[in-house]
Amino acid sequence: MKSVGYGKGYQYAHDLESKVADMQCLPDNLRDRVYYRPTAEGSEREFAERLKQIRERRKQASHEEKKGKDKS
């Protein structure tokens, strides 16, 4: 399957140091849709902080990827 390009560009989050993969898995029309909005109550506060970290890491990785493409 690899010989025909299956899985090309796939990032396995558990293998990454940050544990956050910067890849789009949803169709373009669903890309920025938010499905879960944690509250500031109880453990959801912790979920909110983790989601914030993930968004920041993805944004940073996307920015770094664009910088790399600009150099080529």
| pLDDT tens digits, 43-68 | 999 999 999 998 888 888 777 666 76
Q: What is the pTM of this model?
A: 0.64
pLDDT of residue 68: 66
Rounded to an integer, the average pLDDT of 15-41 is: 88
The pLDDT of residue 2 is 80
| Dist. CA 32–CA 38, nearest whole Å | 16
Residue type, 18: S
Q: Are 11 and 5 in contact (CB under 8 A)?
A: no
Backbone angles phi, psi at 34, to 5 degrees: -105, 125
